[in-house]
Amino acid sequence: MTFNLENISMNYSPVRDEGVLFKNIKIDFPTSSIVTLVGPNGSGKSSLLKIMAGLIKPLTGNIVINGKNILDYSYKERADLIAYLPQTTPLYYNLTVKELVQLGRRRKILSFDSDFRISDELVMYSLERVNMQLFANRKIFSLSGGELQRVLIARVLMGNAQIVLLDEITTSLDIEHVLQIMDIIKELATNGKLVIFSMHDFHFASEYSEFTLLLGYHNENRYFYDRSSQVMIPSILEKTFNVKIELTKESYRFRRHN
């Protein structure tokens, strides 16, 4: 699988060259890898993820998957290729946790009892991965913000897409479950997926991702992409976030219990 950004540009002004968020992004993403998307508020992280998912069109350029423009795929084909979880997900019906997660597999479910049984097994497996299996029959409106986020991540896992796009999904999670989700992301990459996720935590961004895409960087095109070890350094980040950054050894390091 190939996933390429070809001269992607976006702005927030109706005037073409005003209010530029990023300009002429050219990246050939490696498969089986984790890419962190970082940048100041308003630098275009969510917009770029939506462009990658084929939900909005860029000002210029194309998203190309396996040599084909993403907009030339049908919605079903895109859903098979890409899983996307935004910062917030509007939910209008008080479904059970199991019903909500099953929606992540709905395009693959046929109207035969055996297929529904298989889907139910997959639902429970996805819920187990985020430690929410005991909540399967709970109504989603009764969940906390962090619990609901874990359920939505389980729904993403149901789709088995090759490209996984996640927009600040750890914001409402406690440290135990942040580590759990980061381990799932590592597992997805190990199994051949491309995972691109945005976050504001420099520690996790540098520790878990092989590559980093920094938006809002002070150059002509407003982005910088390289291995995380070349991006997540004070000399680069200070120019982007307009703060003084000092690396120290006095930092907490978290690990999950075995």
Residue 94 located in a structural domain: yes
Count of domains forming the chain: 1
Residue 91 located in a structural domain: yes
Nearest residue to 129 via CA among 85, 192, 180: 180
Residue 19 located in a structural domain: yes
Q: How does DSSP classify residue 138?
A: S
CATH code of the domain in which 26 resides? 3.40.50.300
Residue 143 located in a structural domain: yes
The structure's pTM equals: 0.89
- CA 93, CA 95: separation in Å to the nearest integer? 6
The bridge status of strand 82-85 relative to strand 163-167 is parallel
Q: pLDDT of 61-117, one tens digit each?
A: 999 999 999 999 998 899 889 999 998 888 989 999 999 998 887 555 444 444 455
Query: At which residue do the structure tokens 């088995």 appear?
Result: 160
Q: pLDDT of 112-133, one tens digit each?
A: 444 455 578 889 999 999 999 9
Residue 135 located in a structural domain: yes
Residue 254 located in a structural domain: no
Backbone φ/ψ region at 96: left (φ over 0), alpha (ψ -120 to 50), beta: beta
Q: pLDDT of 154-181, one tens digit each?
A: 999 888 899 999 999 888 888 888 888 9
Residue 79 located in a structural domain: yes
**Mean pLDDT, rounded, of the chain:** 87
Give the start-end residues of each E strand in 16-122. 20-29, 33-38, 60-65, 68-69, 82-85
Domain span at residue 67 reads 3-241
Residue 256 located in a structural domain: no
